[in-house]
Amino acid sequence: MTWLVTGAAGFIGSHLCRRLVADGEQVVGVDCLVESVDPDLAAARAASLEGLPGFAFERLDLRDHDAVAALVAAVAPDVVVHLAARAGVRQSHREPMSYLDNNVVAFGGLLEACRRAEVGHLVYASSSSVYGNSTTPFSVDAPADHPVSVYGATKRMNELQAHTYSHVYGLPTTGLRFFTVYGPWGRPDMAYFAFADAILRDEPITVYGDGSALRDFTYVDDIVEGVVRLALRPPTPDPTWTPDRGDLGSSSAPWRLCNIGYGEQVSVNRLIALLEELLGRPARRVSAPPQQGEVPATQADVSALERAIGTVPKVPLEVGLRSFVEWLVDYRGRR
């Protein structure tokens, strides 16, 4: 099969591309190579993909709709996996228009390109942020119409755009609500990475709130496994679906939503304690007020995922975090 992966130089995208070529697939990776947090890390991710058999790279800004349409038509992919986006809750409140432009408008252009090229399946990254302050565990069958961050709102808009294209044009689409993804080659702006980096450098860490916030930490290999399995199983219309049935993760169109999360909650305080243990040194904490848009707890209900692919994420935080720390120590030692 031929796959087109956007955000190929990103955290999840680079892992996915390596997995796909290891499976013998043909992969075209797309990225604009703009990383506001750590440009060197983005370049290193891209470099790690160079020369892989079956992999080709295209540098492209997804906001250029004509160029996107031309590329999708030329590649004629069986599957498109859309992982490119402006990420991060806090930054989205400082640059809301950039998030709308990069996340919503760019996705609209990709949807149109996939429709015209008759792509067999479009899989795209959504986020647990769409749930806002809902009661945990978050279920795809529950409403997600009250996000509390600009970032979360852009992801919910994408889900609605995708449903329209699935309904009107018959384009099969799957939206994946990721839960706090962590692991090697991760995002330096996320707490686990920022904390570990600061502890390594003997610098203070900033803890927003009292550290009691709960997160559903999901190892990147589990995310990739879910993406691949779901991508190979395009959704089909549910002929029994009705608007009043309460099944909000599926549709009478070839459209679906799935959570991908480990399914358990871990506090920020516990995360810090694990990092201290793995790094062999204490963290120096600086307290700060809770940030707008950050929710007190997340947790994935993964029953829809298990029904769709027969498995759920399995890597516990203690195991995945050790792999991340080993990678970080090696990566920083080579810089």
Cβ-based neighbours of 227, under 8 Å, separated by 6 or more: 12, 16, 81, 123, 176, 260
**What gap in Å lies between CA 111 and CA 87, rounded to an integer?**
20
The maximal CA–CA distance of the chain, rounded, in angstroms, is 58
Give yes or no: 151 in active site.
yes
**What gap in Å lies between CA 154 and CA 217, rounded to an integer?**
22
Strand residues in the chain grouped as ranges (E) = 2-6, 26-31, 55-59, 79-82, 121-127, 173-178, 181-182, 205-208, 214-215, 218-219, 255-260, 266-267, 285-288
Which of 151, 182, 192, 219 is catalytic? The answer is: 151
Residues in the chain: 335
Q: How far lies 220's CA from each of 109, 124, 192, 270, 285, in Å?
A: 27, 16, 13, 20, 27
Name the phi and psi angles at 139, rounded to 5. -115, 145
First to last CA, the chain: 36
Report, in angstroms and rounded to the nearest whole number, the Rg of the chain calculated over CA atoms: 19
Neighbours of 243 (CB within 10 A): 9
What type of residue is 248?
L
Catalytic residues: 151
